[in-house]
Structure 1
């Protein structure tokens, strides 16, 4: 099978030779543009007892996780589209042999001031038949050197062997850095009579870009402008530092009473400063994408945190239009998973704290070791504690408001709408005083009552079908409900539908085995299945399952019966059964 990426991991001996070829062993920032799984980087140097920070580019996305696990930052996928080279002092590379010249020329183009070491097919240098190879040969003659090596990919340490000879190329690119910093001293001195107003005369606030249909393109343009402004600022600061040093010390410094200001305008120092500012700008730019899309406005707070956790890896990528669309496409591809996780988050919040919020039913019998009970949220009322306020407060806490906003997003999504017409968050914001005095206020999906002293909010569902939809989605996901292809008998769905009616009898049956005995309580199975260790959960689940079996038998219900013919219909509900409620992205 042909390897589309021409992946030949660099043998350790060749990697060490490549690193040793750098003349300047003071590494400010290193780039590896064809990183593979990081073989070339493993002999890389350490500074202050820590591995040197290295940025990687790798076109095969399957290798990104390996690189990140090794501690490298993945900043791009296609090096030939990469632009942010000015922050690097060194580039080390083992590019695809067929395109070696093109990759070295790209590195030379984007590098501001620094060294390049490249492992190439020897024929790339020996046989300069193309314009790219001819240009590379001229660069080597004028700015570098080359060493030819034999059988480096044929030794025992070669993971993928090939008899090809290699050319180890070194190039040094020197910028007009000193001239950029110092400028023309005489020209600058002629400006010393300018007034303060003249000095600020060319400064104007930048115009805002207001093109909503080109948000991503404008974000990249703004980012590039910010990077260029930062570059100019860093160079200007370095010039100022150099001038200050040329003027000499202050009287306070000469007499030992002042703090001496050191000149930090070297090329490596400027690169470190520029990289720090570049990284900050890139973090801000990616965050603006994450928080400006219509996707995030419809994510619950927990789903947002999960996305931001994944975002830590994404934000290391170069901030370009293709990378942004790739990130957003990944969100689209996962939208069903994201939405289902949001439903489960709210379900777990409702069922976590208050035992009266939940009723139980017999979960479907499967091949699992232990049969489990399923849980349903009550369609009549449920209570959420932990939201107390003082008499002087005019609104709920920020955390409580986030919870209500999550409810609004999830139930609007279950209803196939982008947002609730009258959300819980707006109900509390607009009617907080009335709620504090005990009034019952209506929103789109719930009536609510609030008890500020004890901090409980009572929810009365106005659309029981949405609660049922949530119960079925979570039941399917957690395998409490039977698989869609199973021909389930009426007994299972009878006990599922009547769970609230059977709840009192079920809890009475459970209490027979958990009555108080003197000063101690017997084993509490409800607590055990939520908070116990593995053995306690198994014991608790067995007790609850037995109690439910007894109740169902007393009511003549067999949850395990199967149909002879397919009468199952659409009693189950998976995510595809929901009304349209899609995550959408900014154009």
Structure 2
């Protein structure tokens, strides 16, 4: 009914999988969720208020309907193409046995910091004869472990004779972990070499108003909860009951005011902190990886009281660390650009054109664009991961060169304009060159894109800043990068 590779996970196996996950994990993702057996087990183990912190991805429309009927959030349909923001503590998955290695590698690349538990056909582990399986074996050796479970689906809801392996991986990222929440009380003089203090001064002048509005919102929402409960009692006298037509938080308030206050307080604090950071345009210093980690920190530290003193202390910490944040952002972009180097440490099959200790003047993206051969013979879209790295690269180069990103001719814009000019029915011999603010660009039908730095000095500054962000020791590395 749901496809040839739909094999719901037995409860006993789910129990084994969840035992591997840290008890501190609070945000979960189940790709290839099926009818949500793993997601339901997580909620059963962690408590009913975990349900809104368990996201699912599922491609079969019938199963998506099942998940939504169970009140699970379905954030995507194709896991291998999913490009959403990652702030999950754990990914728990039972992917298709035919290409489980691809699904697990996607999870490893997608997760920034956390744990993964995945079921695979044991042959995926025991016969590493493909590039993907070899890469997976290297990752498991360094970051995880395997337990061979045997024929655990022989008595399952849908039976199969496949022998199964359970893979556990733990991904730790220390390079961009900065405590933004320590309360700094003393005034500090700082030199602004990246910018942003105009926004911060405006926020500091308005701190009292921020806390006043926050406190008043809390006061009146708590009063509203009392009135909602009374209204519910009057409604029930006429056989009218709060149900799906009402907002979930109103239904929660009708049942338990304390639970409603707790849920509202958590969400309100999170949104208030996000508002502060949006006001200071914090995103200008961060790449996609850091933005995801930042959202995750907001989720985890959202219980910090939203007071004038805490706002001030947090802003000062961020302001003092903005240089380090930016260097780490450049280092993250550097790592993405060198993923395809043949001897890199991420176990990714790469290209010899890119160098391990610096970004070459010419950067190669093997899948930098997409040519629709069977649909109009046109260049029309980018692969999702590459559009992020294009934007991140342009953003850090704008900061290094003193340019405004909003006014910059970006890589994505230049390629989009060129694709529109080429139009449909593109044939061999087409003009495959264009340029952006910082790069000469070439692209090919197979999807390869070459970016060549226009400015040699800017190229050198990028490599030196990346070296600082990666905390490489010695002067020789920076000298060669220049």
TM-score (norm 1): 0.38
Larger of the two Rg values belongs to structure: 1
